Amino acid sequence: MRIVLLGAPGSGKGTQSQRLVARHGIPQVSTGDLLRAAVTEGTPLGLKAKEAMAAGRLVEDEIVLGMIRERLGEPDTAQGFILDGFPRNLVQARALDGLLRQIDQPLGAVVQLNVDYAELSRRIAGRRTCSDCGRVVNLLASTAEAAQGELCPRTGRPHHLFQRPDDNEVTVAERLRVYEAQTRPLVDYYRQQGLLRSIDAEGDIEGVSERLEAALAPPSAR
Q: What are phi and psi of 189, to 5 degrees?
A: -60, -50
127 is catalytic: yes
2 is catalytic: no
Q: Which of 36, 88, 154, 184 is catalytic?
A: 88
Q: Which of 127, 128, 135, 197 is catalytic?
A: 127
Please give the full DSSP string across 56-80, using - where no structure is assigned.
Answer: TPPPPHHHHHHHHHHHHTSGGGTT-
13 is catalytic: yes
Amino acid in the structure at residue 174 = E
**Cβ-contact 113, 199 below 8 angstroms:** yes
Q: Which of 57, 94, 164, 177 is catalytic?
A: 164
Q: Which of 69, 175, 184, 191 is catalytic?
A: 175
Q: How far apart are CA 46 and CA 164, in angstroms?
A: 24
Pairing, β 109-114 against β 81-84: unpaired
Q: Which of 13, 123, 128, 197 is catalytic?
A: 13
88 is catalytic: yes
Residues with catalytic annotation?
13, 88, 127, 164, 175
